[in-house]
Structure formats: C-alpha cells, structure tokens
Structure 1
Amino acid sequence: MLAWSVVVSVLVMTVLSLLRVNVIIAILAAGLTGGLMTGASLTDTLDMIINGMGGQAQVALSYILLGAFAVTIAYSGITGILVQNLLKVMKGKRVALLFVIAGVASLSQNVIPVHIAFIPILIPPLLKLFNEMKIDRRGVATALTFGLKAPYLMIPAGFGLIFHQTIQDSMKENGVSVSVPEIAQSMLIPGLGMVVGLLIAVLFTYRKPRDPEEIIQVDPEKAEVAASDEKVETFGRKHALTIVAIIVALGIQWYTGSMVFGALAGLVSMFAFRIVPFKKGDQVVSEGIGMMGTIAFVMLIASGFANVIQTTGAVDALVEQTSGQLGDNKIIIAFLLLVVGLVITMGIGSSFGTIPILAALYVPICVAVGFSPLATVALIGTAGALGDAGSPASDSTLGPTSGLNADGRHNHIWDTCVPTFLHYNIPLFVFGWVAAIIL
C-alpha cells in the first residue's frame, strides 16, 4: 500500500486536473490521498503539506518579484516596440512565428535567464495577432514549453548549468563522479527527443488554422485583452534605461546566483531611473502578485505534496518494490526506472527539485546492474525532465498558460498540459531510454 500511494495520488491529481478541477485543489487532494494511504491521519498529512511548502519559498518569492519587474518593463512600453516589429515581420507566417517564439523562449534559460517572467510581458500583446492569424494556441504552448525546457537539458549555461551541476552533485553524493561536459554529452540524446516533438507539433499537429470562435471557454471579463490595440511606441530614453535595468538585473543574478536578488535589483533600477513613478509602487507589486502569484502558490503546494510522499517513505517503497522485480536486463530496467521517474516527477512537477531524490534511488541500482555513468546521467536527467512537461504543477506549463489565457481563451490542462505531455514526454521517454541503452 505504501508504494502504491505515490501512483494513486498522482492519478488523483491527473484525473481531477483533466476534469478541469483547479490545479491547486487537485494537488492538495493528491497530497491528502497519498498521506492517508500511508496510514497518516488527515491532520498529520495536512501538517506535512504545510511544512513542506517552505521548500519552494525562494522560488515563489522570485516569481512574484519577477512578475513585478515584468510589470515595470511593460509599463515602460518597450514590449510594445518589440511586438510592433514582430507583427510587421511575422504577420501571415504561422509556422515561422511558432519557431520564433520557441527561439525567444530558449533565450530565457541560458542567455537571459529570466525563466517564465518574459511570458506575461510578451504573449498577451500577441493574442490579437494569434486570433487574426487563426494560430492554434496549443502550438504556441508547445513552442513556449520547448524553450523553457530543452535548452537547460542540453546546454550547461544559465539554468542549464544549475541543472547539470545538480545532477553532478547528486550523483557524487551517491558515489559516482561525472563532469559537467560529460553530463551535457549524455543529455544531448534526450534533448533531441524534444526537438523531434517540437517539429511534430509545429509542422503537423497544430499547423492547421484554429478559429478562436471555436474555443468555448471564454471569460468575458478577460476577452477584451485580445481585442485592444497596442499603442504605437517609438524608441526613446526610457526604453534605453529599461534595457540598462534588465542588464543590471541579469548581472546581479549571474553574480549572486539568485533570481530574488536579480529581480529585486531590476525592480529597484526601474524606480531609480524614474521609468516607473514611486507612487506606482503598490500597483506594480499588486499586479506582479496577480500575474505570478498563482504560479508561485502552485509551486508551494507542489512542494508540500512532494514532502508528503518523501516523508512517509512512499517514494523509497515504490522504488524498492520496483527494483526487487527488475532482474538483470538493462533494457527492461531502464524502461521501468523511467516509468517510476515519470510517476514521481509528474506529481512533484519540478525537474530541479526531483534530481536529488532520483539520484539517491537510481545510482545504487544503476551501479549494481552495470550502467555506465553516462547512461546513469541520461536516466536521471530524463526522469527529472519528465516532470516539467505535461505536469499541471510545473512552471513550464503554468508559465505558458499565464500568458495565453490572458483573454480567457486557453485551458491549462487541455490546451497546455496534454499537448506538451504528448509531444515532449513521449519522445523524451523514448530518446532517454535509447540513451541509457547505448551510452
């Protein structure tokens, strides 16, 4: 029963999410289900969820500050200039636009590591264009998720360096040493799976026009967002200073290694340069919380759920029960390890957060069976990445939804999570499986 509690709780979260239950309620229900199945009382389970929420407190704070920073950037009008130029170049070119969006999103992981904070700035002004061009927003969601995920899998820079170092440190703690270049080498094959998924989504699955009138779930209060015209902007002093503020934020983030300090530095710079009046401070923070607060809170609840399945020993029990039936066939073992990883990471929704858990469970099994260090990296990295696409609790799916649903025409589960699961988790699984066998 202990081992099965992880599987059942993840299924509860998945089914409730597919039934359009709010993701926060779905994760909370999953956490309570998992705790009760392990024999913990309802009160004890709730305490574990609350105590575990602190595990993502820094991430949640950084998202809210990045949201406030994003609001000040939008206030400067520089996004208007970007959108205007994008409209001129890309109008009528659906496929090209999706690839450009994937490229811009990719920059947010390695070159300009702001993660999902750019989405609420860039995407809402483009919704009118999406409607006019009849672009399938599910294609936009897959393009955004590709950019939020594929670069850090393959490129050891920015968030990618953090991801690769997390794998390196977690494996070292469990007795296996591997260098960052070797990790990057082994993750190229799973990363290519995401490239294949992007090509299928953009060139085939979502290539056809999708009339916005066919989308049923429309919030009348939000619908005016896509109908509004973007104010014409010309580049000036405030836009130049906004770029300086962005550079300051990135510099501080790189120097300190903290998104919190980076976002705070950028926010302070925008006020210091008088791009945003001081009297707008309360409004900016409130809008930042409104923009990113839901995502931040989902991450907190997801951390609480992760604490339940870890504290109760459910994850250990699941892997122990699975490993006891593995045998010595590497092909079958790699497949089963990835299945277990998929269940764990889909529930937690964080690739970075699950790497230490996965390494502690995978490394001893891989060493005993005879997997090479590179094959072990491929298994751990792929299993961790499976939690970032398709999971209702992942910021790589919550981020795209936050921008695409600004006018109430985009559903988080059916328009983001299901498309990204199908196009990324399936090829990731297959390519990661192949990598574990051939490396």
Structure 2
Amino acid sequence: MNAVVMAIGIMLVLSLCRVHVVIALIVGALAGGLLGGLGLEDTLQAFNNGLGGGATVALSYALLGAFAVAIAKSGLAHALADKALVLVGKGNGQGSGMLKALLILLVLAVAISSQNILPIHIAFIPLLIPPLLYVFARLRIDRRLIACVITFGLITPYMFLPVGFGNIFLNEILLANVVRSGVDVSGVNVTEAMAIPALGMLCGLVLALLSYRRKRDYDLERIEQVEQVSVSYRPRTLLVAGAAVVTAFGVQLWLDSMIVGALAGFVLFSLSGVVRWREADDLFTEGMKMMAMIGFIMIAAAGFAEVMKATGQVKTLVDTSAAWIGNSRALGALLMLLVGLLVTMGIGSSFSTVPIIAAIFVPLGVELGFSPLAIVSIVGTAGALGDAGSPASDSTLGPTAGLNVDGQHNHIWDTVVPTFLHYNLPLLAFGWVAAMVL
C-alpha cells in the first residue's frame, strides 16, 4: 500500500473519530514516513523542516485575531449586527426569511470578492463572521451552511476566473505546468476548460442550501461570552474602525503581507485611543488565543505535507495510477481525478498539487488522446479536488476560524465533512464529464 494513501487515510480516520486534527496530522505524518521507508529520525527531520512553511499563515491568523477583537471593541461589525437584529425583532418576524437570504448572499459576495476584487483571501473571515454569529443564532441559521457558502466563495473563483488568485492558479500554475509538460495551449481558453467543473461547484452550493435549510439552535449565552452583543459605539469609533480596515487591507495588497496589514490596523486602533494602551496587551493576547488552534493546524499540516514529499511516494502514486489506466480514457480521467483528490487532501493546497501531478498526467493525457482543452480541465480539476473537505486546507480552516470562536462549530463534522460531500463529489463527477466531452 502506498505510504501517502496510508498516511492520508490514517489522518482522516483519526479526525473523523474526533481525535484533534493536530494529533491526527502528526500521527499520519509519522506513519507515512515510516511506511515510506524514511525511518523515525528522517521522518521527524522532514516534519520539523516543514513546520516553517505554515508559520507565516499561522502568525497572520494570530494577528488577524487580535485585529478582529479590536474591531469588535470599536463596534463596527456590531453596528451591522444591530441593524440586522432590529429587522429580526423577536426572531419570528415576517422579514426574517428575507434577512437570512441577504446575510447568506453578503457572506457569499464577500468570499468571492476576496479572491479577485479585493484579493485578501481568508483575511476577511475573522473580521466579518464572529460579530454576525449572534444574528445567525437568532435567525437559527445552520453554521454548516455558512461554512459551505464561504468555502464555495474561496475555491470556485480561483478555479474558474483568471483574475486575482485565479490568475495565479489558472495562468501561472495550471497553464504553465501543462506547457512545461509538453502540450501547446496557445488556443486553449482556460475559463472554457474549467467551466463544467465550476458548474459542479455551483451544484454543490445549491445542494448545501437545500441540505441545511432547516433551522438549528445554538447557545446564545456561549456566544455572548466571547462576542459582546451589546457594544457601545460612537460615530468616531466607527470612523476609526473603517479607516483601520481600509489601512489593513491596503497595506496587505501593497506589501502582500497579512501580517503587516493586520499589525497596521491594530496600531491605528491603539493610536486613535479606541483601544487604550493599558488594554492593548490583553486585547492582543485574547485575539491571538482565538486563532491559536487554526494556527497550530496550519503549522502541523505544513509538516505533514513535507513528510509526504520526502517519502517520494507521491510520484509513485501518480506513476502507479498511470500504469493501471491502460488505454481506457474513461478510467484514465477518473483515476487522475482521484489521485488529485488524495494529494490535495493530504497537502492541503491546490496550488501545490498541480506541479506534482502535471508532469505525469499531461503526457498520459496526450497518450490517451485527450485534447489540450480536456488535459487542462483534468489537471485543473484534479488540483482543485480536495481543497474543500481537507482538514488541512485554508478553505476549511478559514470558515472554522470564524464560526467556532464560541466552541459550537466542530472543524471536522461541521466544516470538513459537509464541504467534502457537497463539493468534492459533484466536482469529481463534473470534472469527469468535462474530460469526456471537451
């Protein structure tokens, strides 16, 4: 049995059994390294070498957590929540259904915009979602639905629209690796190649809206313990908060650093007096604690991915699947997509998967007679598969970071499993269809 498959399987089974994801990642990495012939010392060395790969994102999230707490203190997000609560009334008003739809559309629009219009990726989640939890709870919205909505907005734009992060994934990674592997893509429209798989993601979103349409109750007192639902705010504090948000996002776009952007926003809060100097230390610590779990998962996931690469069995997995295919185009497309799913779920990054699989799958696609358009579609879909539903992906860790600040949203069962079922399965089916018809 391939060591990568075993490692990912062990990690997923332990996670589903409610073993903490960090422990599951460490145990999976150790098992994969030993099964891959690295030995205990080399496995630990590879794991330790990989830890630094997740440190930047983890620190970014810790600082964003501190920034989010400062925003909560200013009352900016709560001003929006208060307006929504007025419309909710006692929770049984005639307009609650319309408000629920508007809030879901707002979250979806912001998530999509975070990939292209304002390419801040997951940075918006700790700032927008926690202050809305009380409103979601009053409307009895199932948080699994919000997780699916956010994940759709984080993935579909980059795999379909060649703008922002989509330009990086589609043009700089996908097309570049296909060309590097020997296929001329001069006449290929990458949006056309990924249109059918993107339609699969849309079908998954519609299914999620149906699956989680029923009301779900959450403990309002637990929300109040971590998110102040009654915050006093004045026009000045709201103005400072708005300026801080613009500053944070502007610095991030300018320097391409979530760390410096969040820090700039927090400093502006401190200088303005909205956050008092004597409160700044406690506020900063509180925010970092809020994001600590997500940070440790990201760091452990980077170590896990490094061990998988060090075994050399990712390439073996790809080569073995190529040997099984024979001359069957239908089987070839299916196996290539399944291997992409496995690799991405283990590594946690679509952007890292494409270079790994393209070197083998592109020549194989040519040998099986797939058109350049179909090859681009297969490799792109194989890379995107697994981004939703991976315990180590920021497309699942991000939603959990915002929805679980009060401890009422389980990462595995409320984010990972719902997004896996509603997105990976339709994407697998629609990706296979695309390979057959393009």
Pair in the same fold by TM > 0.5: yes
- TM-superposed CA distance for 1:224, in Å, is 4.0
**Hey, what does 2:229 align to over in structure 1?**
229
- TM-superposed CA distance for 1:410, in Å, is 1.6
1:428–1:101 Cα change, 3 Å: same
Unaligned runs of 5+ in 1: none
- Sequence identity percentage: 49
1:61–1:228 Cα change, 3 Å: closer
- Distance in structure 2 (CA, Å) of the matches to 1:380 and 1:246: 37
- TM-superposed CA distance for 1:316, in Å, is 0.7
- Distance in structure 1 (CA, Å) of the matches to 2:239 and 2:26: 45
**Hey, what does 1:21 align to over in structure 2?**
19
**Hey, what does 1:157 align to over in structure 2?**
163
Given that residues 249 and 266 in structure 1 are in contact (C-alpha distance below 8 angstroms), is that contact kept between their aligned partners in structure 2? yes
1:37–1:223 Cα change, 3 Å: same
Matched, 1:324 2:330: no
Matched, 1:182 2:189: yes
1:302-341 equivalent positions in 2, closer than 5 A? 302-341=301-340
**Hey, what does 2:45 align to over in structure 1?**
47
**Hey, what does 1:246 align to over in structure 2?**
245
Partner secondary structure for residue 416 of structure 1: helix
- TM-superposed CA distance for 1:335, in Å, is 0.6
- TM-superposed CA distance for 1:49, in Å, is 0.8
**Hey, what does 1:296 align to over in structure 2?**
295
1:206–1:27 Cα change, 3 Å: same
Number of aligned residue pairs: give it.
429
For 1:92, the aligned partner's letter is S
Given that residues 225 and 406 in structure 1 are in contact (C-alpha distance below 8 angstroms), is that contact kept between their aligned partners in structure 2? no
1:349-364 equivalent positions in 2, closer than 5 A? 349-364=348-363
Unaligned runs of 5+ in 2: 89-94
Given that residues 128 and 226 in structure 1 are in contact (C-alpha distance below 8 angstroms), is that contact kept between their aligned partners in structure 2? no
Which residue of 71, 92, 96 corresponds with 1:92? 96
- TM-superposed CA distance for 1:190, in Å, is 1.4
Which residue of 62, 65, 73 corresponds with 1:64? 62
Query: Over aligned residues, Cα RMSD in angstroms?
Result: 2.7
Deviations 1:215-246 (A, max 9, x none): xxx9x9x4543785332545x23433333333
Which residue of 197, 201, 215 corresponds with 2:208? 201
Partner secondary structure for residue 393 of structure 1: coil
- Distance in structure 1 (CA, Å) of the matches to 2:3 and 2:167: 34
1:63–1:409 Cα change, 3 Å: closer
- TM-superposed CA distance for 1:296, in Å, is 2.4
**Hey, what does 2:91 align to over in structure 1?**
none
Given that residues 73 and 242 in structure 1 are in contact (C-alpha distance below 8 angstroms), is that contact kept between their aligned partners in structure 2? yes
Matched, 1:110 2:103: no
- Distance in structure 2 (CA, Å) of the matches to 1:284 and 1:155: 38
Deviations 1:204-225 (A, max 9, x none): 2111222337xxxx9x9x4543
1:295–1:211 Cα change, 3 Å: closer
- TM-superposed CA distance for 1:166, in Å, is 2.5
**Hey, what does 1:132 align to over in structure 2?**
138
- Distance in structure 2 (CA, Å) of the matches to 1:122 and 1:210: 21
Given that residues 134 and 212 in structure 1 are in contact (C-alpha distance below 8 angstroms), is that contact kept between their aligned partners in structure 2? yes
- Distance in structure 2 (CA, Å) of the matches to 1:343 and 1:124: 32
- Distance in structure 1 (CA, Å) of the matches to 2:176 and 2:284: 36
- Distance in structure 1 (CA, Å) of the matches to 2:40 and 2:187: 43
Q: Structure 1 length normalisation: TM-score?
A: 0.88
**Hey, what does 2:381 align to over in structure 1?**
382
For 2:144, the aligned partner's letter is R
- Distance in structure 1 (CA, Å) of the matches to 2:13 and 2:149: 25
For 2:34, the aligned partner's letter is L
1:360–1:285 Cα change, 3 Å: farther
- Distance in structure 2 (CA, Å) of the matches to 1:262 and 1:177: 40
Given that residues 189 and 432 in structure 1 are in contact (C-alpha distance below 8 angstroms), is that contact kept between their aligned partners in structure 2? yes
Partner secondary structure for residue 324 of structure 2: coil
- TM-superposed CA distance for 1:284, in Å, is 4.3
Given that residues 72 and 131 in structure 2 are in contact (C-alpha distance below 8 angstroms), is that contact kept between their aligned partners in structure 1? no
Q: Structure 2 length normalisation: TM-score?
A: 0.89
